[in-house]
Amino acid sequence: MAPTLTQPWWPRALGLTRPALDHYHRGLVNPATGIADTDPALPFGCAAGLLVASGRGGTWEVELDGQRLRCRLRDSVRDDFDPLGRLVVGDRVVVRPGSEPGRGAIEARLPRRSQVGRGRGEKAPTLIAANIDQLVIVLSARMPEFTLHTLDRYLTIAAAAEVEPLVVLNKSDLDDGTVQAEVEAVYPALGYRILRTSVTAGLGIESFAAALAGCISAVVGPSGAGKSSLLNAIDPSYRLRIGQVMAMGKGRHTTTGSRLLRLDCGGWVADTPGIKTLGLVETDLEPMALQHLFPELDALFGTCRFANCTHRSEPDCAVSRGVAAGRIAPSRHASYQRLFDELEAARRR
């Protein structure tokens, strides 16, 4: 029997109970028009599934009732996706099973609760995953070198997409404690969850696995940070390709496409390719809205002399005062300013 969207079929199918699922719209969206159909029932003979991988040659893998279907896009919907409407892993799709076993056709994409992407400069942004509960930000202490700004950039992406971030400091075997101290001085107090791992030393792997259990996560971070290594560490059967440190930094990415992997403990995780230029996919993010994505700046909202203070060089700015008084980390203020300038420049283009 085809499930209808008036029932919360999706969390049940995946064993999920997250309250964030309330965000789901009900009703179908016609990918050609972006308009929700008012009829909440799925078309006769169709079922809703989870897009787990984009195959080559226009084939997509969809998980439906514990089965894997290889699907193509129905011709009439193929060309109708705008850049942000393209299918991506994590999308919920309406599938019509084919006459051949294990085959089907994607008829429509269901509305998204969230989407995370990366900028590509002038080009349209590339989406990483849709409908994720958690953005797992993997950074290495060294090789590639850790920077606070990279961390702030990823945290901003998560906040803009309204996805819960989890920070993983990997390669802790290469850290003399400096990176850990730098991070712990600032981020836990802001409410961010931080894990410390080392695949090489087998450190923190269990906590990492536990943090993924029961939800849909996307693992992001610079190339070479150890994203695929961490996932292989929690389940060797994934057999994800691991890069050679020597080849890193030469523009080579070991992981290429995104794929959702099923977790033994329930839930899904997407390994993603390392990101070189991480832009804000929410192209409609106003520079003035950026302050709300930094919790410590958001807390001071409305307390500067000027109501439209950008917290850069205005007189009597509560944020600058906070930095001077040691209540706000200078690195956070610097990250904010850099991202603000970027957003402003993007608006002018």
Ligand X SMILES: Nc1nc2c(ncn2[C@@H]2O[C@H](COP(=O)(O)OP(=O)(O)OP(=O)(O)O)[C@@H](O)[C@H]2O)c(=O)[nH]1
**Least distance between Mg ion and beta carbon 233 (Å):** 13
The residues near 75 (Cβ < 8 Å, ≥ 6 apart) are none
Q: Which stretch binds ligand X (CB under 6 A): 49-57, 226-234, 276-284, 316-324?
A: 226-234
**Least distance between Mg ion and beta carbon 113 (Å):** 26
Contact call for residues 238 and 288 (beta carbons, < 8 A): no
Cα–Cα distance between 223 and 187 in angstroms, integer?
A: 23
Q: Which of 38/308 has CB closer to Zn ion?
A: 308
Closest CA to 263 of 85, 111, 136, 120: 136
- Partner whose footprint covers residue 317, from ligand X, Mg ion, Zn ion, none (CB < 5 to 8 Å by kind): Zn ion
Q: Which of 64/242 has CB closer to ligand X?
A: 242
Cα–Cα distance between 131 and 89 in angstroms, integer?
A: 9
**Least distance between Mg ion and beta carbon 272 (Å):** 8
Contact pattern for ligand X over residues 270 through 309, marking x by CB under 6 A: ---xx-----------------------------------
Site for ligand X contains 254 (CB under 6 A): yes
Helix H or strand E segment including 156 = helix 148-160
Site for ligand X contains 214 (CB under 6 A): no
Cα–Cα distance between 318 and 305 in angstroms, integer?
A: 8
Q: Which of 99/308 has CB closer to Zn ion?
A: 308
Number of residues that bind Mg ion (CB under 5 A): 4
Closest CA to 223 of 255, 193, 266, 192: 255
Q: Which of 93/138 has CB closer to ligand X?
A: 138
In degrees and rounded to multiples of 5, residue 280 shows phi and psi of -95, 115
Note the residues at the interface with Zn ion (CB under 5 A). Answer: 304, 309, 311, 317, 319
Site for Mg ion contains 258 (CB under 5 A): no
**Least distance between ligand X and beta carbon 198 (Å):** 4
Site for ligand X contains 217 (CB under 6 A): no
Q: Which of 71/230 has CB closer to Mg ion?
A: 230
Q: Which of 144/267 has CB closer to ligand X?
A: 144
CA dist 139 to 43, 239, 256, 331, Å? 44, 21, 18, 17
The beta-strand segments (E) located in the chain are 29-30, 35-36, 47-54, 59-64, 67-73, 92-97, 103-109, 115-120, 123-130, 134-140, 164-170, 193-196, 216-220, 259-262, 268-271
Partners of 139 in the beta sheet?
A: 169
- Partner whose footprint covers residue 117, from ligand X, Mg ion, Zn ion, none (CB < 5 to 8 Å by kind): none
What is the end-to-end Cα distance of the chain in Å, rounded? Answer: 51
Q: Which stretch binds ligand X (CB under 6 A): 76-84, 123-131, 249-257, 332-340?
A: 249-257
The residues binding Mg ion (CB under 5 A) are 227-228, 254-255
The residues binding ligand X (CB under 6 A) are 170-171, 173-174, 198-200, 221, 223-229, 242-245, 253-255, 273-274
